[in-house]
Amino acid sequence: MQLTIADLKRGQKGIVKDVSSKEIPLKLLEMGCLPGNHVELLQVAPFSDPMYLNINGTHLAIRKETAKHIIIEPSTNE
Amino acid sequence: MNTVLQNILAFSALSIALLFLFKTFVWWPKKKAKKACGETDCGCH
Amino acid sequence: MSKQINVALIGNPNTGKTSVFNALTGLNQKVGNYPGITVEKKQGVCKLPRGVKAHIIDLPGTYSLNASSLDESVVIELLLNKNDKDYPDVAVVVTDVENLKRNLLLYTQIKDLKIPTILVINMSDRMSYKGISLDIDYLETQLDTKIALISTRKGKGIEDLKSLIINYKTLSIESCIDIRNIDTNYFEGLEHVFPNQSLYKLWLVITQDVNFGKIDKNTINDATNFKTKSESDLKRLQQKETIKRYQFINNVLKKGQTIDLKSAKDIRIQLDRILTHKVWGYLIFLGILLLIFQAIYSWAETPMDFIDASFASLSEWLSTKLPDGVFTNLITEGIIPGLGGIVIFIPQIAFLFLFISILEESGYMSRVVFLMDKIMRRFGLSGKSVVPLISGTACAIPAIMATRNIESWKERLITILVTPFTTCAARLPVYLIIIALIIPEGTLLGIGYKPLTLLIMYLIGFAAAVGSAYLLNKIMKIRSKSYFVVEMPTYKLPLFKNVFITVVEKTKAFVFDAGKIILAISIVLWFLASYGPGDDFNNAEAIVTEQYASVNLTQDELDEKIASHKLEHSFIGITGKAIEPIIQPLGYDWKIGIGIVSSFAAREVFVGTLATIYSVGTDDEDTIKNRMAKETNPFIGGPLYNLASGISLLLFYAFAMQCMSTLAIVKRETNSWKWPILQLVTMSSIAYLIALIAYQVLK
């Protein structure tokens, strides 16, 4: 199974690999959620939803259902 | 100020008030919404 | 040649665009609406050197030209329409030094429209704090523009920006990205059909469904029907475009910007650990709400008492100074008490706007959105519904407009439908005066009974909103995709100037908009109360004198009897008596009934209406509150405003949909009469039932 942002634990990092899913709004890409960019899960609300992320220096929150579609690979330098 | 003038002033105030209320509450749907959102998803591209 | 330069301020949300606007224009600004839609349009004038004036328009914040809301489409529509009188001679793109990379995306898009573009890098005072250094010369060359490095907080760089604006003609209008590179075949085909048009503009017309000049999406589709793209193809191309733009930006910033992470400090992480914490986050939010309500109540009390007393004495003073007559009576009995009913609430409304603008300016509101999303979704709302529900405590109209950034139509519609339940500032006048009359002094756990009652009224409003959202979510069958993306900006100390301007502008708008209606209604009501048909009204003096001939009354008492007899047989009295049977079970008399009926124009009219009714024909000038306290119940005796009727009235106002302006906005935002009519009927029926039950139980 592929790793997605929804699988991250608080404080974990990864690198965005694939954002081609239709469920990902263009707005998210425009805010920097693009392949190759670093992503870190900073904080979660109760029930891990929504998720508060730092993607490529932008701090934003998305719902878990969107996070499930953003495929990542584990960060190599950790 | 005599009574006539007082009456004129008072009733012109009344006419202005009525005209204003009419324009505000009865006549307002004139403006046409250009691209307001209907029953569809609004602006989710 | 006209010496006015049209300037458009464009930028992502949270870049301090409004601060730049305020710095350029000061209080020299005007807030209106775009024609036909209710997007706020802020314009101002800035004086430049050499006698040149700049007409500055502050466009809604947007992350890109790919509009995802009505607010954002305003930006693109203006920028594509060269014939618009506001079409900018020069665009000023405002960016935040900390988020330069993301902010530049919009810059590259604006630049590709071939509009002269100035780049403003704001919050430069935070550069050393964040370990950022910029090579401005290099950036100016690579981005092909002029850069103004400014700090609105420290007031630096504004003059540089002004001189760039004045010299806008020297700016290059070359584009950053060649859109052809995204899909060579497709774009060359387009170019073939429309050889004289900018390809990027055509591309925006295709993807955004906006018009420019005579060209709209359909003309393009018709002309290029040999290769119309499917929706998903278009989206793929938009993704590709975004990636291309970021590649360009990354290349520029690789050399132009260095970030020394070691010297960067960020209090955001530490603060967020507490403020978005699973337990502390919610407790702090609750604490902030409590603070706001206690403050509104206790801080505003002194200025309000002062205003109330001033209006009473103004009225008395005028009646002695002006000559006797109809017009004088209209002023002292109709207009002044009516206006007093709205002016008195300026302190509270200003405090409410003050708190809301501080919460938004500081960046805390986004944290509330984050904390509340999961909970709100249970009720069919979005975390972003919290903002409308909180600003609904000021006024439902801006609150309903603030629903625009909710991505899902269903969540947005439900938010629009339930927002009018929140306790808006217009309900405050009614609540406050009733609470002052019926709730005793005393404290519970250090909080006074009166503020506590007010807090309960606010909670009832929220509960009604959330509860009906839950029901609507179960009933409504609308399938809609829900996206939720919310930026969490850095925390900022709110700029005094920004907060001040917001409070002044919003309070002014509220008071003048409502004030005009109240003034007009007061005048009409005064006439209806001062004139009447038939013998009963016109011969009131003779009738009453005869009736009380056997009783020994003083002249004052007799005058009072005559006045109330006249009022009862005036036009308004007859109307009120006609509806009395409907409202009598709620504990009201016909005068309150008139107040309620006129409140359907706007709630805050209630106090003014009663003030007008109670003062018609009386000579003694008294405060509204004292007049109300003197009223007696015509059916069962005792004070008219007692606990039972007071609570019933409070609850009626909590639930009833009594605001024409809100209904008009709902109609405009939903593009249908169905929803506002549903609101009017349902909310008002609920209000009647609950008020009825409350009075019957408590009496």
Encoded amino acid at C254, one letter: K
The verdict on whether omega for the bond into residue C347 sits within 30 degrees of 0, i.e. cis, is no
| C412 CB within 8 Å of a chain B CB | yes
pLDDT digits (tens, 9 = 90+) for C52-72: 889 999 988 888 888 777 778
Q: How far is CA C452 from CA C52, C343, C351, C443, C557, in A?
A: 56, 24, 18, 9, 39
When pLDDT is cut at 50, 70 and 90, the band that residue B32 belongs to is very low
Alpha-carbon distances of C682 from C35, C586, C658, C673, C693, rounded to whole Å: 31, 18, 12, 14, 17
Q: Please, what is the Cα angle at C476 between C473 and C478, to 5 degrees?
A: 105
Residue C7, pLDDT > 90, answer yes
| Residue C240 in contact with partner chain A when CB distance is under 8 A | no
Residue C275: predicted pLDDT: 92
Q: In whole angstroms, how far apart are CA C42 and each of B33, B34, C30, C60?
A: 19, 19, 6, 9
Look up residue C470 and give its two tokens. Answer: 């839950």
pLDDT at res. C418: 95
Q: How far apart are CA C404 and CA C73, in angstroms?
A: 11
**Given a cut of 90, is residue B7 above it in pLDDT?**
no
* Sequence ranges of the domains in chain B: 1-26
**What average pLDDT does range C548-557 have in this prediction?**
76
Among positive and negative, which fits the CA dihedral C437, C439, C443, C446?
negative
Contact B45 C480 (CB under 8 A): no
Strands of C29-33's sheet in order across:
C29-33, C40-47, C53-58, C4-11, C90-96, C117-122, C146-149
Instruction: Output C401 or C376, whichever has higher pLDDT.
Output: C376
Quickly count: other Cβ atoms within 10 Å of residue C260's Cβ.
11
CA-nearest residue of chain C to B17? C520
pLDDT of residue B35: 37
Does C678 touch chain B if contact means CB atoms closer than 8 Å? no
Can you spell out the DSSP letters for C1-21?
A: ---EEEEEEEE-TTSSHHHHH
3-state secondary structure of C550: coil
**Inter-residue contact C608 to C342 (CB < 8 Å):** yes
Cβ-contact C48, C166 below 8 angstroms: yes
CB of C117 within 8 Å of a chain A CB? The answer is no
| A35, C279, C505, C574 from C245: Cα distances, Å | 14, 41, 38, 71
Q: Is the pLDDT of residue B37 over 60?
A: no
- State the residue for tokens 């020069």: C90
Which is more confidently placed, C378 or C312?
A: C378
Residues C220, C208 contacting (CB under 8 angstroms): no
At the top level of CATH, which class does the domain C4-170 belong to? Answer: alpha beta
List chains touching C (3+ CB pairs under 8 A): A, B
- Provide mean pLDDT across the span C324-352: 79
Q: What is the dihedral of CA A54, A55, A59, A65, to 10 degrees?
A: -90
Q: Is pLDDT above 80 for C370? A: yes
Do B45 and C66 count as a contact with CB atoms less than 8 A apart?
yes
Dmax (CA) for chain A in angstroms is 30
Q: What is the pLDDT of residue C497?
A: 85
Least confident of C190-199, C203-212, C233-242, C410-419: C203-212
- Residue C664's SS3 state is helix
Report the share of chain C in percent with pLDDT over 90.
Answer: 19
Q: What is the mean pLDDT of residues C329-345?
A: 78
Which residue did the predictor score with more confidence, C334 or B33? C334
CA closest to C69 among chain A residues: A27
Contacts of B6 in chain C (CB under 8 A): 323, 325-328
Distance CA C666, CA C517 (A): 19
pLDDT tens-place string over residues C567-623: 888 888 888 889 889 988 998 888 888 888 878 777 777 877 787 777 665 655 567
Q: In whole numbers, what is the pLDDT of chain C averaged over residues?
A: 83
C624 vs C544, which has greater pLDDT?
Answer: C544
Cβ-defined contact of C276 to A57 (cutoff 8 Å): no
Q: What is the structure's pLDDT at A26?
A: 85
- Give residue A72's pLDDT band: very low, low, confident or very high (50, 70, 90): very high
In which band, very low, low, confident or very high, does the pLDDT at C117 lie, cut at 50, 70 and 90? very high
Tokens linked to C448: 């006074």
CB atoms within 10 A of CB C517: 23
SS3 C134: strand
pLDDT in tens, C384-435: 898 888 878 877 877 887 787 777 788 889 999 999 999 887 788 788 888 9
Give the whole-angstrom CA distance, residue B27 versus residue C54: 36
Look at residue C214 in the predicted model and tell me its pLDDT. Answer: 57
- Three-state DSSP at C126 gives helix
DSSP string, C482-523: ---EEE-PPP-PPPHHHHHHHHHHHHHHHHHHHHHHHHHHHH
pLDDT (tens digit per residue) in C244-274:
999 999 999 988 888 877 766 678 888 898 9
Domain boundaries, chain A: 5-74
Dist CA C614 CA C469 (whole Å): 39
Q: Is the pLDDT of residue C442 over 60?
A: yes
Residue C452 confidence (pLDDT)? 86
Residue A61 C-alpha, separation from nearest chain C C-alpha, in angstroms: 5
pLDDT, greater one: C612 or C463: C463
Q: Which of C374, C485, C488 sits opposite A28 (nearest CB)?
A: C485
Fold exhibited by the domain A5-74: SH3 type barrels. (2.30.30)
What's the first-to-final CA gap in chain B, in angstroms?
67
> Which residue matches tokens 């996206």?
C483
Mean pLDDT of C215-228: 61
Between helix C643-655 and helix C449-475 the angle, nearest 10°, is: 40
- Contact call for residues B1 and C323 (beta carbons, < 8 A): yes
Which pLDDT score, from 0 to 100, does residue C106 have?
93
Q: How far is Cα C132 from Cα C101, in angstroms, rounded to an integer?
A: 12
Residues with Cβ within 8 Å of C5's Cβ and at least 6 positions away in sequence, in order, are: C48, C52, C53, C54, C55, C89, C90, C165, C166, C168
Biggest alpha carbon–alpha carbon distance for chain C? 104
Pairing state of beta strands C4-11 and C53-58?
Answer: parallel
The string of DSSP codes covering C357-406 is: HHHHHHTHHHHHHHHHHHHHHHTT--GGGHHHHHHTTT-HHHHHHGGGG-
Direct distance between the N- and C-terminal alpha carbons of chain A, in angstroms, rounded to an integer: 21
CB-count burial class (<10 Å; 0-12, 13-18, 19+) for B26? exposed
Mean of pLDDT values over C493-503 = 86
C98 vs C94: CA distance, rounded Å: 12
Q: How many CB atoms lie within 10 A of CB C233?
A: 13
Torsion of CA C160, C32, C113, C71, to 10 degrees: 120
Contacts of A61 in chain C (CB under 8 A): 366, 369-370, 373, 484-486, 488
pLDDT at C648: 94
User: pLDDT tens digit string along A17-64?
Assistant: 988 888 888 889 888 898 889 999 999 988 888 999 999 888 999 999
**C374 in contact with chain A, both atoms CB, cutoff 8 A:** yes
Does the structure show a pLDDT above 80 at B27?
no
Contact C98, C266 (CB under 8 A): no
Could you tell me the residue ranges of all domains in chain C? 4-170, 280-425+446-475, 503-698
* % of chain C with per-residue pLDDT over 70: 92
The residue among C567 and C223 whose pLDDT is bigger is C567
Coil, helix or strand for C83? Answer: coil
Does the pLDDT at position B1 exceed 60? no
Test A61 with C369 for CB contact under 8 angstroms: yes
Q: Are C6 and C88 in contact (CB under 8 A)?
A: yes
Q: Judged by CB atoms within 8 Å, which residues 12-31 of A form the interface with C? A: 19-20, 22-23, 25-31
The 3-state DSSP class for residue C222 equals helix
Q: How confident is the model at residue B31 (pLDDT cuts 50, 70, 90)?
A: very low
DSSP H helix total and E strand total for chain A: 2, 5
Q: Read off the amino acid at residue C389.
A: L
Nearest to C645 by CA among C600, C589, C575, C578: C589
pLDDT value at B39 more than 50: no
Q: Which is higher by pLDDT, C332 or C151?
A: C151
Query: Residue C170, Cβ neighbours under 10 Å: how many?
Result: 8
